[in-house]
Structure 1
Amino acid sequence: MAKPVAATVTVELARQGVLRLDDPVRAHLPGFDLADRNSAAGITIRDLLQHTSGLPFGAPLLDRADAGRRPADVLPALASIKPQSPPGTEHLYSSLNYLVLAAVIEATTRRSYAEVLAATVGRPLRNGIVATAAQAATVPSGHRFVAGRPVRMNTGYDPAGAAYGYLGGSLTDLTRFATDQLRPKDPAITAQLHAPGRPTGLGEHYGLGWRISDLPDTGQAVVMLQNVSGFFHESALLATAQGVAGLLANEEPSAVAVDPMYLPAVGVLAALALTLARTGRTRSCPPERRPLVMIGFRADRDANGLADQIAGRNQVRSAAAMACRSAESSRVDALAHAT
């Protein structure tokens, strides 16, 4: 949930007039540079939010557990990195974007990212958030099964990474944040976050911190996915007309969790959760190309995430809609003959 939260913080700062989404990054970080200086000059805050800056994956600069590390500490290393595309032209998912975004927020507000987070998005959360190394030290370690036995995994904590992945909190906080996205107090902010940006694939886009995909359904769904080393979980929140259906599953809940059928089983459970949440509702047939939205987030390591499994059903949407209308037409004809 780190990137959707960071995007929400940024849009809130824009609402307050602290920054503008189309500001060049250099307007707030004069030291920001890349091997291609012209490209660096053209990168905006919006590009960071939508992963359209051209920054590469940048794994060596991420997941560092150096004590006292700050987001701006990455700037000297970026000066030798060559962008993979011109700013604003292509979606290239990279957590470096959100690491630089945190540096922008800190430089603009002259406060730590954790402090800004607590004063904006974190304010309504009752149980607190985990956004610093000190807070992370109080959280129980995750476990994995090794040779059939649970083994504690200490994966470290990147003190500069709260905006791109190292953010935690309680299930209550997660639910409250998701509910605020579904029923926003300020629809204008949510509209900016959920507006489709550059395409990421067939029927898929990336908004501001959120993945947006078509769903073969007549309602809307907000799906947040996360797979974090050390805590190992998949989560899905599906919004339906009746409310929120939530599914949480440990990535390795038992010694047999390495079974290759585990991920497909999680996909089936997600579909079941959506079906149960919709039980009892009667829907008319959907329009053949009605835009349906799934807003989702996937961490860098989520190569086989639940969102892909659900979104992969998109190809049958039009056929299903046509079949539904055909069946409905047949029922109408039957009633006409009966009367």
Structure 2
Amino acid sequence: MSVKIRNIDLGDFPLLLAPMEDVSDPPFRALCKENGADLMYTEFISSEGLIRDAAKSVQKLDIYEYERPIGIQIFGSDIESMRKTTEIVERTNPDIIDINYGCPVKKVACKGAGAGILQDIPKMVEMTKEIVNTTKLPVTVKTRLGWDENTKYITEVAERLQDVGIEALSVHGRTRKQMYKGEADWDLIAEIKNNPRIRIPIFGNGDIDSPEKAVAYKAKYNVDGIMIGRASIGYPWIFNEIKHFVKTGEHLPPPSIADRVHIAKRHLEMSVEWKGEILAVNEMKRHYSNYFKGIPHFKDYRIKLVTSFDLNEVRDTLDEIVWNAEKGLITL
């Protein structure tokens, strides 16, 4: 049965690209969309930054027709600021507005935004209600199980958020205190999904890094879809690989070295176009290790890619990798 957020049809078992700061930008989203992502979210946007018209926050509003359906994610700790932000975001015409109640980083959470609001559930519910009432767009939420081991109230929170009008919920199976350590607890995510009061789609997030795991978690935890974050960094192929495995039980052939270089180069060039050479060269560094993961004797090339600050030097290194792969000097 198709999963829907209001009238947005996401197919039978949608795969979502998680919003990731300095990762889920338009160049990266373009590659994930081409490789099978069903719904994508922008990097999270600071409500205070957007209201102040801060350049970085405003730039994150850039969305493109080919990305649809696309959600813009916002975060903040002040209800009135979040209401104003919702009005600004709605004017850019995304398909969905998503609220970030999950970011665990100190500078966000310790100001009461992101996962910080998990320490004040009544405020979380009140803020959500205000945002839902401000916009005609569907509102979704991404959050965590709780602030720490003693505050895993997510089942009750899910009901309360649904009651004030959210239309889908993505849950990362860790507490804020865990950050990204340990193993994600999907039992609580399944508890939300199997709660007879819950009518909205429930998407699970955390630790899905292979087609096998996606299929196993789909069967075991009964979620409506899966949100993929870290496993997609430098590896946008994961979406189609999971879809193929869900459908056939078989693996797609892995991308060749030439495929990897081709996508890395496209990613780099789109980044240069969107954010300028200096930022693009710097921010691409987090992707290279994953683009070329598992290739034997690759260390010297990896060092070149992550230490170079010169765009032409990076291009030359990528060309050299393809040339050496064609000669059989680098193999998977």
TM over 0.5: no
Give 1 or 2: higher helix fraction: 2
Compute the TM-score of the two structures, normalised by the length of structure 1: 0.28
